[in-house]
Structure 1
């Protein structure tokens, strides 16, 4: 059963509203539970979140590649990429509570900035991972970006190109098979 235009619009609005909601949660949620005082819990939650996120990303990528989104607007992958950014930012902020892990990372904005800079592979050098745990998380983020987020971005691009191509063909239909055979 195909979704109705109304349900598609509702889903789009929900996905679009989710991005600011995730940012609000990131900037307001108390993070005292994570960090050097609770390493077992911190690493367990981090691993669980990355595993769940990878599973969701792979599912979304598969749906996009099979073109079976059933009216979903292809916003799931970008939303999951934002969620990945926030998970890594929380990890960096939690690690920065240990004085030997980071130089220059003190606030949530610093952590989000460092996460975006790391994901984009720019690296200005104003914030640097010094400790072993911080370096491990940075390496994980780089690998995560290369493996999951790049493939997810490519899948969204392919999906959007296909949708734009369909719309262009609907607006400007070319000659049909019967027109091509005559002549």
Structure 2
């Protein structure tokens, strides 16, 4: 197996794994909408991915965009259905979910020759095409806005199911007509995700360094909270049941909540000294965000620059990229000829004659 084949296989496995993994996650999440909808989400992901790979075998990268688009569509469908069609029968939800997907895949199949160039593009479009590419989203949003304006949720269950099918049928028509723009948007999203994923390896070391410094602050202040509580005669913290003694795991939980500034929940400080200590931890966390990240990135750039300078010192090269001819120790070569000419230019003229 050649290197190009292995690279292509890895990209295929990565795309398929990401698509199916995200589809399984979303299907599990929408499980409260009945037993059929999760099955349809997984089935649509598998069928759609297989069809797109069959039609555009050289467009492997767009699977990322397809997975993201399917996840967003499933989430918005659940939100819209729960808000405006709460009493719609269970039988109406799977076909309503399938209508836009079938319309899009059918349009892609019908226009597969025209869309091959879009699906196999290797570079994202510039921002000038964004308005034209995303224009179909305006019409889809208008359908959703009409559903929210009209009192559809007050209708009988059967009428809500019919209205849901009509609304999704309208979205299906919009998506089918704008299949090229939808495909272009999915490809652009996939290319951007792939580019970001390619750059993550360059920020891996700074990210790990930041996490280590963050964990150090959490551990130091958690130990301080635990020691202060153990040395105090009275409990310095309260939980839902009143005063409580802090275990080390509780101290870690309280330290993370303090440093992340998400707000106190089940454990709260009840002593002025602990409040001051918590305030210091918050300030330390803000300083880490403001200056720690910048210093980590600056130190990494400095190390990279130093390494490049060392490599240039070990292997210097002339500006034109060519190595100079070796000097002749016995006076031969270009340098020796120039030296002899300077010492006795007459002999050179005599020999030329």
Q: Please give the TM-score of this superposition, normalised by the length of structure 2.
A: 0.23
Q: Please give the TM-score of this superposition, normalised by the length of structure 1.
A: 0.42
Greater gyration radius: 2
